[in-house]
Each structure stands twice: as C-alpha cells, then as structure tokens.
Amino acid sequence: MKELTLKEKIGQLIVTGFPGQDLDEATLRLIEDYKIGNIILFAHNVKDKGQLKHLNAKLQEKITEHTGYPALISIDQEGGRVTRLPQDAVNVPGAMAIASTGRPENAYAAGRITAREMRELGINFNLAPVLDINNNKQNPVINVRSYGDTAEVVTEYGLQMLRGLREGGVLAAIKHFPGHGDTAVDSHLGLPSIDKSLEALAELELKPFQAAIDSGAECLTSAHILFPAIEKNQVPATMSRSIITGLLKEKMGYQGLVISDCLEMNAIQKYYGTAEGAIGALKAGVHLLFISHSSRLVKDAVQRIEQAVRSGELPLAIIDEAVEKVLFYKAKYGRIVGGELSAAEHAVNRRAAEAISLESICHVSGELERVKRNASDTIVIGSLPYRPDQASSQIGMDLSFPAEAGAAFGIPYLVTDINPDEQEQERIVAQVKDYQKVVIGLYNGCDHTGQLQLVSRLARAGHRVAAVAFGKPYDLETLDEGVCGLAAFEYTRTAIHSVIRILGGETPPTGRLSLRH
C-alpha cells in the first residue's frame, strides 16, 4: 500500500456503476485515469448469465490491470423485490417472505444459494442482508425488505442469511445502520429523520446490528438518516463521526469494513452534495464510498478528496486506514469466484427457492376456497406490477398475476389500473357481475387505495372474494369481513406460481406473518 499514489489510494475507496450491459468508455476512463477499483451492478447491467459472467471477467481484468488489485464487484441481491441476477439464475424470496415460513434455516439456505449463484457469475460482494426493523407501517422503502417488526425476528433470520452468504463465500453487508425501519421518508428521495435517543435505539434498532457484530459481521452499510438526538451537527449517519466512529466502532465494537449507501441519493446529493458527502463520510469513519451512477460525480468526489488531503483538511491517515481495510477484504474475497454450477446443482437451488416461496404464503383471513380449472363462476383480476421505490428492481412488463392465474386455471382474467378510480371501480364491478368468485391481486393497496375500495365494492356486491397481497401485507388489515386474504409479499413469478398452487388446492398455505397484530 505504501507504494500507491494518493490518486491510486482514493480510487480504491470508490465504487461506481455504469448504464449498459457492457463496460462503457466513461467507466473505462475512470478505471484507467482515476484508478477506480470497485463496481456496483444493477438490473440494467444484466441480460443473462452468460453475458453477466463475461462482463464481470472483463471488469476484473481491467481493474486489476490498471490498479494492481482485484475489484470488489457488488450487487443488491436481497431476494424478492430487490433482485438483480438474471432470470436464468436463481433468485430467492425476500426477507419478510422468508421469515413468514417460520423456519430460520430457510434464511440460511437463501444466503447459501445466493452466494453460490453470485460466485459462479463473478460477483464477490452482496449488499445484504437488511437488518432494519420495519416498525413503521408507513415506511416507503423498507417494508417487506425487512424480516419483521421486532428485533427478535430480524436478528434470528438476518443472522442466518448473513451466515449463509459468508459460508457461501461472498462478502456480505448488513444494512442500514443504525436503522432505516422507523421512517416514512425514502432516503433515495429525501432526508429522513429519526428523533430517538441512543437509549431508545439500543432497545430496538441496534439489537440486530449488535448481534451481527458479535457474530463477526465483516461489512456494514450506513444509513443516510438524521439522528438529531445523537448527532447535533445536522448531518446524516453516513457523515456523522459520533455515529460511525463513536457509536459503531467504539461503543459497539465493530472492526469491519464500513461502506456508505449511495452518495447520489437525494438525502446526500440534494442537501450536502455528493463530493462533500464523500468528505464527510471519510471523516466520520466510512471506508468505501458508493457513487453508483455518474462518472462526473465520481471525478468531482475524487478531486475534492485529493484537494482535502493536500490542504490538510482530511488527514492522510484517514485515507490510509480506509485503504488498508479495503485491501484486506479484497485479499480475502477479491479473486475468489466459484466454478460452473452443474445443471443438477442449479436445479437443486431453484427447487429450494421455490419451496421457500411456497412455505411463505400466509392465509391471513376469511375462508380459502379452491379455484377449480375451467370454473365458469370464477374470474381473476388485478393490476400489473410497478417499481414502488428506487431500491426495487425494474419490472418486466411481461409479469401479470391475472394473466398467469387465468392461464393456469383456464378462467377469464381482467387487468386493472394500479389505483382504480371510482369510475373504473364501477366498470369492473359491472364486468364481473356474472361471476360468483373473484380473485384479486393487490400490490401495495395501502398506497393506492382504489385497490382496497374495489375489494370492498366486490364483497358488498355479493361476490366471494379472495385478495392476494403481492406487496405489503398491511393491505389485508382493512378487508371486509368474510374476504379471504393471502399474503405473498412480492410480485415475482415465483410468488405468483406459489399462490396459484395454493389457490388450486395443490397444497395448504403454511406461512405465518412475522408481524405483531
């Protein structure tokens, strides 16, 4: 490390991304000229396994050639709503779905499967698991990405997922410290604030993180959230020395790698600026800076850090400590990739993921009636999916619960708006008037209340209604008495197929909500 120039050291502390399915010229220039040493992948970088494996091999080759060290290639592969791997890989269910199986070993299996799939493709760094406690139903960005709304559930399942990832051979980042669960603001879009004392945080939000630290967690992601009771300088946790060094490292005993959430998120870029956010994060004790999309902002940050070091504003010792930490984990994970998984191994992984999904489906309320094939008295309705937040994966427009269920049962289906207004609700009620049973797929109806109003209209019109929540299970809390409610947690093809199997009577639902009532 002593032989590295200042620019080379700073390059080791940056993670960036790029817009397409191949390495673009702007990113290549960052690697060659600015010695950027790490990459984050998103769904827009991914076509299929062959393309992704070739891309990652090229990234490793270029970064190793120009920096002298292997790359940390990262991805948000939480499972469920936040998945980036291609469809011909295995994507596991998300956190709340897994916890609703009631079996912590499923979280461990999900971690192992994910790590093996990632390593085969040349990805060595997973930005998961989520250890946030979703104790605010209005949370727009965490919700089903959390294992539940208690410290006990989140700790039990989150640590099993962490263990599976680690034993599978990838670096895993617990997130978002010191907790993103009790917010009603998405830090991608705004700057959340949690006005809790350190004592209150220690009673809830910090418990899963402390347990993970005690179990040897190697990497942790900071949250772009204000905690005014413990940081008086009006900066978010990512930029707070009181939180990152004082609380996390000194009080809680954490010794691993600290990474920032993306510094292009509005919580940083809008209120502080990405380059100043990078300076603040390094001063706070963060080691690795994510600037995930803009090559211009990467250049701005590198130049600002270099200027701060040369002026004495940012001690070189802070840079050296961060570089030493990054290189330690590069030595452990940077060159480790798995070999080809056999067709049989892939099949085992896929069956395991499908089994976990099937176990996760919860029967929450009402009487569950079997949907018979070619039933003339039954129709399936519901909206197409959409991208509910910036963390979620982009949505393939070929995914449709009404169409898939209609085809599976040989019955009619109808696609609705995501938030049907009164006029559309009346039209739909008229269209389904000749059907005794209506199966309706909900997707975050608590955010788009026209869906829930439609369920109520159908029930009051005398239909036997089964409502399936493919997003937040809180949709099911306001159903009319007698409406059957199923929680599926995520609008994915795997979850749809699990629901179809349960609606068809192939297997009873065995999931139990991991939430307090």
Class of domain 8-333: alpha beta
3-state helix, strand, coil in the chain (%, to 5): 45, 15, 45
Burial of 264 (0-12, 13-18, 19+ CB in 10 A): buried
Q: Per-residue pLDDT for 392 more than 80? A: yes
Task: Name the pLDDT band for 393 (thresholds 50, 70, 90).
Answer: confident
- Reported as a single tens digit per residue, the pLDDT across 45-58 is 999 999 999 999 99
Question: HSE of 225 in the Cβ direction (CA atoms, 13 Å)?
Answer: 25
CB 361 within 8 A of CB 499: yes
- Reported as a single tens digit per residue, the pLDDT across 339-383 is 788 999 999 999 999 999 999 999 999 999 999 999 999 999 999
Mean pLDDT score across all residues of the chain: 96
Residue range 174-200: average pLDDT? Answer: 93
Query: Angle at the Cα of 35 (from 30 to 40), degrees rounded to 5?
Result: 65
What values do phi and psi take at 292, rounded to 5? -90, -10
First-to-last C-alpha distance (Å) of the chain? 54
- Reported as a single tens digit per residue, the pLDDT across 129-176 is 999 999 999 998 999 999 999 999 999 999 999 999 999 999 999 999
pLDDT of residue 338: 65
Domain 361-503 in CATH: superfamily? Glycoside hydrolase family 3 C-terminal domain (3.40.50.1700)
Sequence ranges of the chain with CATH classification 3.40.50.1700? 361-503
**Under DSSP, is residue 47 helix (H, G, I), strand (E, B) or coil?**
coil
What values do phi and psi take at 368, rounded to 5? -90, 110
Burial of 439 (0-12, 13-18, 19+ CB in 10 A): buried
Measure the CA–CA gap between 104 and 98, rounded to whole angstroms.
8
Does residue 180 carry a catalytic annotation? no
pLDDT of residue 97: 98
Question: HSE of 19 in the Cβ direction (CA atoms, 13 Å)?
Answer: 4
Does residue 363 carry a catalytic annotation? no
Query: Partners of 257 in the beta sheet?
Result: 219
Measure the CA–CA gap between 509 and 488, rounded to whole angstroms.
10
Query: Which of the residues 188, 293, 300, 417 is marked catalytic?
Result: 188
Report field, pTM of the whole predicted structure over 0.75: yes
pLDDT of residue 186: 83
Query: Partners of 171 in the beta sheet?
Result: 125
| 90 Cβ contact partners less than 8 Å away, ≥ 6 residues apart | 113, 114, 117, 346, 349, 350, 353
Q: Per-residue pLDDT for 517 more than 60? A: no
Q: Per-residue pLDDT for 395 more than 80? A: no
pLDDT of residue 1: 65
Query: Which of the residues 76, 186, 261, 475 is marked catalytic?
Result: 261
Task: Name the pLDDT band for 337 (thresholds 50, 70, 90).
Answer: low
Among residues 323, 337, 317, the alpha carbon closest in space to that of 67 is found at 323
Among residues 239, 213, 195, 116, the alpha carbon closest in space to that of 159 is found at 213
Structure token pair of residue 127: 């930005």
* Look-up of token digits 């030595």: 331
Task: State the alpha helices, DSSP H only, in 285-421.
Answer: 295-311, 316-333, 343-360, 401-409
What values do phi and psi take at 244, rounded to 5? -75, -45
Q: Per-residue pLDDT for 92 more than 80? A: yes
Sequence ranges of the chain with CATH classification 3.20.20.300? 8-333
Query: Angle at the Cα of 281 (from 275 to 285), degrees rounded to 5?
Result: 150
| 200 Cβ contact partners less than 8 Å away, ≥ 6 residues apart | none
- pLDDT > 70 fraction of the chain, expressed in percent and rounded: 99
CB 111 within 8 A of CB 129: yes
User: Residue 421, Cβ neighbours under 10 Å: how many?
Assistant: 11
Whether a cis peptide bond, with omega within 30° of 0, leads into 129 is: yes
CB 101 within 8 A of CB 356: yes
Give how far Cα 389 sits from Cα of 213, 271, 392, 394, Å. Answer: 29, 20, 6, 10
- Reported as a single tens digit per residue, the pLDDT across 263-318 is 999 999 999 999 999 999 999 999 999 999 999 999 999 999 999 999 999 999 99
